[in-house]
């Protein structure tokens, strides 16, 4: 019984931290996206849009490396894309944190389950899946 | 294709303002109905603004991450979300979401539009359907016990315990939900809730919040594939995710004050109209 009570407490702490982490990630990435959006509209607001045909080969900013080099030259689009990458990493960091949470609870089955989910995402990050 | 669209030559500024406004409405409607912003922003971008469906899917999946992470933050703190069930089922949804995101480029955009319309219709029906609570504490599933999925959640009448049933069935259904999510760039909440409410027989509150909790990770898995492929265009994603997130936040504030039951029929009509438009234009090969 005593063990049960303890487990609920740890769970509760983990949940509060997870919630804070998610909120912080969303707010931070949205601020970056907004800053990038202003720079982008300021520099390219009068350009004509053309999104009628998807062209994979025309897309830049498709890798972390390209985003960072655009970031250094303060391109609006690269700043937005950086904010988007931060947003994508928000739920991923939530998984990483949950693994630590389960480790603290000594729930090794869920440490393994969390690591499986994480390795699936890391596998997709390797950029070998795009046809 | 371009000639069919109302706005043919638009400046970045005008495009951004229109998408921002539309995405706000999509987020508002999505949060009031519980459908999510993605199912409404994709028809708007493709049917009204003539954006290629692959760009629309990329923008939508990013807005799914933003809204689901934002609302999951609040639910998780209340202790309703079952994190173990979420993590366990994420094995299914992440694999299948990546798979869906890979195959989407090989499928004719017309078929994607038709599939999208059908899922939209299904979501509208699910929204109107009378919900019957199936949850109980009849602890009969060996798998549920083995994976420690049974849980409890706080209610005004005290803590309620529940047991999870048919784990294999739920896992398979989640796999399907993940493919749909990766293929169409939506959260596919309707399918996830179906898996949890009807198959695994979890309480409504737990299934909705847990499905929402899983959505961010599932969407992130396919978003990575979209990003590498160039489907995430900052010029579209910026107004879409800012608009949808703002709309969803306003929607959740309204939701606390009003009971939108009567509005649901109106929403269902709007969603059904969008669904038929997607199917019709898909069949004509216009998308």
At B56-87, the pLDDT tens digits run 999 999 999 999 998 888 888 788 889 999 99
Which one of B12, B69, B91 has the shortest CB-CB distance to A91? B69
Q: Answer yes or no: is A55 within a domain.
A: yes
The confidence score (pLDDT) of residue A21 equals: 92
Q: Answer yes or no: is A72 within a domain.
A: yes
Q: Answer yes or no: is A33 within a domain.
A: yes
Number of structural domains found in chain A: 1
Q: Which of B7-16, B111-120, B151-160, B259-268 shows the highest mean pLDDT? A: B111-120
Residue B136 contacts residue B163 (beta carbons within 8 Å): yes
Q: Answer yes or no: is A123 within a domain.
A: no
Q: Answer yes or no: is A110 within a domain.
A: no
- Residues in B closer than 8 angstroms to A68, CB to CB, are none
Number of structural domains found in chain B: 1
Average pLDDT over every residue of B272-282: 93
Does B119 score more than 90 pLDDT?
A: yes
Average pLDDT over every residue of B237-264: 85
Q: Splitting chain A (131 residues) into consecutive groups of 10 residues, what average pLDDT does each group show?
A: 47 81 95 97 91 83 87 92 96 93 92 96 77 48
Residue A71 contacts residue A118 (beta carbons within 8 Å): no
- Residues in B closer than 8 angstroms to A46, CB to CB, are 11-13
Residue B241 contacts residue B232 (beta carbons within 8 Å): no
The confidence score (pLDDT) of residue B5 equals: 52
Which one of B77, B87, B224 has the shortest CB-CB distance to A19? B77
pLDDT digits (tens, 9 = 90+) for B180-232: 999 999 998 889 988 998 899 999 889 988 998 999 999 999 999 999 999 99
Q: Answer yes or no: is A45 within a domain.
A: yes
List A residues 29-48 in contact with B (Cβ-Cβ < 8 A).
29-30, 33-34, 36-37, 40-41, 44-48
B134: confidence class by pLDDT, cuts 50, 70, 90: confident
- Residue B151: strand, helix, or coil: strand
- Interface A-B: count of C-beta contacts within 8 A: 211
* ipTM of the prediction greater than 0.95, yes or no: no
Does B124 score more than 80 pLDDT?
A: yes
Average pLDDT over every residue of B103-115: 93
pLDDT digits (tens, 9 = 90+) for B39-52: 889 999 999 999 99
**Residue of A39, A124, A126, A129 to mutate for B, most B C-beta atoms under 10 A:** A124
Nearest-Å Rg of the Cα atoms of chain B is 19
Q: Answer yes or no: is A102 within a domain.
A: no
Residue B144 contacts residue B163 (beta carbons within 8 Å): yes
Which one of B9, B220, B228 has the shortest CB-CB distance to A121? B220
Share of chain B above pLDDT 90, in %: 59
Low-confidence winner among A32-36, A67-71, B7-11, B233-237 (lowest mean pLDDT):
B7-11
Task: Give B25's contacts (C-beta < 8 A, 6+ positions apart).
Answer: B40, B247
Residue numbers of the domain that contains A16: 2-89
- Residues in A closer than 8 angstroms to B237, CB to CB, are 33, 80, 84
Q: Give the DSSP letter string of chain A.
A: -HHHHHHHHHHHHHHHHHHHHHHHHHHHHHHHHHHHHHHHHHHHTTSBP--SS--GGG----SHHHHHHHHHTT-HHHHHHHHHHHHHHHHHHHHHHHHHHHHHTT-HHHHHHHHHHHHHHHHHHTS----
Does B6 score more than 80 pLDDT?
A: no
Share of chain B above pLDDT 70, in %: 95
Place of tokens 């509005």: B263
**Arithmetic mean of pLDDT over chain B:** 89
The confidence score (pLDDT) of residue A2 equals: 43
- Residues in A closer than 8 angstroms to B16, CB to CB, are 37, 41, 45
Task: Give B112's contacts (C-beta < 8 A, 6+ positions apart).
Answer: B53, B57, B104, B183, B184, B282, B287
The confidence score (pLDDT) of residue A87 equals: 97
- Residues in A closer than 8 angstroms to B73, CB to CB, are 19-20, 22-23, 26
Q: Give the DSSP letter string of B3-60.
A: GGSS--S-BHHHHHHHHHHHHHHHHHHHHHHTS-SHHHHHHIIIIIT---HHHHHHHH
B260: confidence class by pLDDT, cuts 50, 70, 90: low
Residue numbers of the domain that contains B89: 2-283
CB contact under 8 Å between B52 and A53, yes or no, is: yes
B172: confidence class by pLDDT, cuts 50, 70, 90: very high
B253: confidence class by pLDDT, cuts 50, 70, 90: confident
The confidence score (pLDDT) of residue A27 equals: 95
The confidence score (pLDDT) of residue B1 equals: 42
Does B3 score more than 60 pLDDT?
A: no
């Amino acid at each position: 019984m005593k063990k049960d009570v303890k487990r609920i407490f740890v769970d509760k702490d983990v949940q509060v931290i997870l919630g804070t982490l998610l909120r912080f990630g969303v707010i931070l990435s949205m601020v970056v996206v907004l800053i990038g959006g202003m720079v982008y509209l300021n520099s390219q607001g009068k350009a004509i849009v053309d999104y009628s045909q998807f062209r994979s080969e025309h897309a830049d900013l498709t890798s972390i490396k390209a985003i960072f080099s655009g970031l250094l030259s303060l391109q609006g689009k690269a700043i937005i894309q950086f904010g988007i990458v931060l947003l994508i990493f928000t739920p991923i960091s939530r998984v990483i944190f949950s693994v630590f949470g389960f480790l603290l609870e000594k729930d090794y089955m869920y440490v393994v389950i969390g690591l499986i989910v994480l390795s699936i995402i890391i596998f997709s990050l390797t950029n070998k899946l795009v046809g | 294709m371009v000639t069919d669209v109302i706005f043919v030559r638009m400046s970045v500024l005008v495009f951004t303002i229109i998408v921002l406004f539309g995405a706000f409405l999509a987020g508002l409607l999505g949060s009031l109905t519980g459908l999510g912003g993605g199912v409404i922003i994709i028809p708007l971008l493709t049917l009204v603004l003539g954006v290629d469906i692959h760009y629309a899917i990329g923008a939508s999946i990013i807005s799914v991450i933003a809204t689901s992470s934002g609302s999951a933050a609040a639910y998780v703190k209340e202790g309703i979300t079952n994190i173990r069930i979420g993590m366990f089922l994420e094995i299914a949804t992440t694999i299948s979401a990546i798979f869906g995101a890979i195959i989407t480029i090989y499928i004719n955009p017309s078929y994607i539009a038709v599939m999208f319309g059908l899922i939209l219709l299904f979501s509208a029906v699910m929204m109107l359907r009378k919900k019957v609570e199936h949850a109980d504490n009849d602890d009969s599933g060996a798998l549920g016990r083995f994976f420690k999925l049974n849980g409890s959640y706080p209610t005004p009448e005290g803590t309620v315990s529940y047991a999870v049933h048919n784990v294999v069935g739920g896992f398979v259904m989640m796999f399907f939900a993940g493919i749909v999510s990766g293929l169409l760039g939506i959260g596919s909440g309707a399918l996830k809730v179906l898996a949890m409410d009807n198959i695994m027989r979890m309480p409504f509150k737990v299934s909705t919040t847990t499905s929402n909790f899983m959505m961010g990770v599932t969407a992130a898995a396919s978003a990575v594939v979209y990003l590498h492929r160039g489907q995430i265009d900052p010029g579209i994603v910026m107004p879409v995710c800012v608009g949808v997130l703002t709309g969803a936040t306003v929607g959740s504030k309204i939701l606390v004050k009003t009971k939108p039951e009567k509005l649901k029929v109106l929403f269902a009509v709007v969603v059904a109209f969008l669904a038929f438009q997607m199917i019709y234009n898909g069949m004509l090969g216009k998308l």
